[in-house]
Copies of this chain bind each other. A is one copy, B any other.
């Protein structure tokens, strides 16, 4: 039986129910985190906790027990017998339950905190085959830096790519490639690695942040600069990344093919650095 978490309690997941007056359900008024467990440790838990707190601060939700994030996550791993497995923790915090009104509840109500664990794949021997992605207009809001649950733009954009047999959709805003519907993206041209700068237009990904570090450790040049869509034909390599599936090489943006169909040299250097970091974290 799967155990999940709701507002301080660990419960059989099937027993967990949400009020229809929850502002998560009525307004998408909440934020979330996804963090990976590598059969013994969480990847950058402090990074996830800080981002969780930042997201809450930006939309002014106060989960005063946010310091419990890691303990809750650890207990979900234990209760679901995932200690020696790879797994993902999903945790979301909404503004809580109150009669429907755009204004925040006055006085404030307790936030709804919901979390579950799910088995996942581990770090693979190699990044696997490169995959096609769809380039699509970024129809999302302009506060993509907030890891909000109001993800309708993401789901319908991703579905569109999915039905075309593509593994991700990559957004283009104002002519520049920003990020994916559930990932950040890195682009390699002239042996320089480009990724959209931290700003309102992308989520500051935990894996993104660490990949920038790995690239530096591998002696590679990273520029956090907007990369124009018009230059995608000049790309040598590209990959997207997120917490759940690490790093995935890209074989094409729509009709524009890139590289040889598997991870290129730059991608591989970063991948090996990632692997080494995980090995050192495993200790």
Contacts and interface: CB of A to CB of B under 8 A. Distances in A.
Interface of A: 4, 6, 13, 16-20, 22-30, 59-60, 90, 92, 94-95, 99-100, 102-104, 114, 116, 118, 137, 139-143, 146, 148-156, 158-159, 162, 181-182
Identical subunits present? 2
Contacts of A60: 156, 159
**Interface-central residue, A26, A28, A92, A142, by most chain B CB under 10 Å:** A28
A30 B20 CA distance: 13
A42 to B, nearest CB: 19
A90 B92 CA distance: 25
Contacts of A114: 20
A162 B60 CA distance: 14
Contact of A151 (B13, B28, B182): B28
Given A16-B20, A18-B18, A22-B25, A104 B149 contact: no
B104 A100 contact: no
7 contacts: A16-B20, A17-B18, A26-B92, A27-B152, A102-B181, A103-B159, A141-B141
Contacts of A149: 25-28, 152
